[in-house]
Amino acid sequence: MWLLAVAIFSGLKWVTWWRARTIVPHKAWRSAAYLLAWPGMEADSFLDARCMPPKPSLAQWLYALIEASFGAGFIWVVARRVPSDWGLLQGWVGMAGLIFLLHFGSLRLLALFWQSVGVKASPIMSAPALSQSLSEFWGKRWNLGFRQLAHELIFRPLCRRIGIAAAGFLVFVASGLIHDLVISLPARGGYGLPTGYFVLQGIGVTVERSFVGERLGLRGGLPGWLFMAVFTAGPAFWLFHPPFVTRVMVPFLRAIRAL
């Protein structure tokens, strides 16, 4: 799983750097830092010394530390207390902890570090639970590194040819195929479920932006938040299906807890 994820990530990250390297004047250390010490995909702003972010506050540092600590507690304390014969639950608890430890905690701390030395590095996650619509969740708050990549490599080249709606839907299809490769292939099962999950997200965004979605108020407020929560969390077992949780995540969590 990690080998596939790192290989795909490294290849795509190289593409973003290659496209920006001659467009944005920058020093060599910024290229090295972008390629080796930052998981985001916003090459233009990271390389550009003229993009000066505000200095992070103490509250931001503390909040990121709390999230990282919360995730570590889930992995090394809570998941450990789940009976070993409840492998699926143990895997989900540990996986939630891993997401908090890495995506919400450690990667936010890394973003704050780069901001503190004058490099514009936006956090990968931006309070996704506060999204008031499904479009806001996927477009502005969840995994912004992949969002930037998909926008540059898939959405922008296609939107002029096939339209905004179709190009946006194909972004979800591509995301599903990538997740299937990283999740289902190592698990040797659950093939197609991650792709189905992201196809469903694309359908949800299409409904939200339709006349019906507008009449139902799905573009914001409480109805939009509920629609987002149901669509993202409800079918999450398609994305992280049982073969992946029991065959990949559970052994991985046991291995890191043994270190």
Instruction: Please provide the average confidence, as pLDDT, over all residues in the chain.
Output: 92
> Could you tell me the pLDDT band of residue 134, with boundaries at 50, 70 and 90?
very high
> Could you tell me the pLDDT band of residue 235, with boundaries at 50, 70 and 90?
very high
> Can you give the pTM of this predicted structure?
0.90
Contacting residues for 15 by C-beta, under 8 A, at least 6 apart: 153
Instruction: Provide, for the chain, the percentages of residues in helix, strand and coil under a 3-state DSSP scheme, each rounded to the nearest 5.
Output: 75, 0, 25
Could you tell me which of 214, 158, 187, 207 has the C-alpha nearest to residue 88?
187
Both tokens of 43, joined, read: 């090459």
Q: Could you tell me if 57 and 115 are in contact, meaning their C-beta atoms sit under 8 angstroms apart?
A: no
Contacting residues for 198 by C-beta, under 8 A, at least 6 apart: 172, 173, 175, 176, 179, 239
Phi, psi of 133, rounded to the nearest 5 degrees: -160, 160
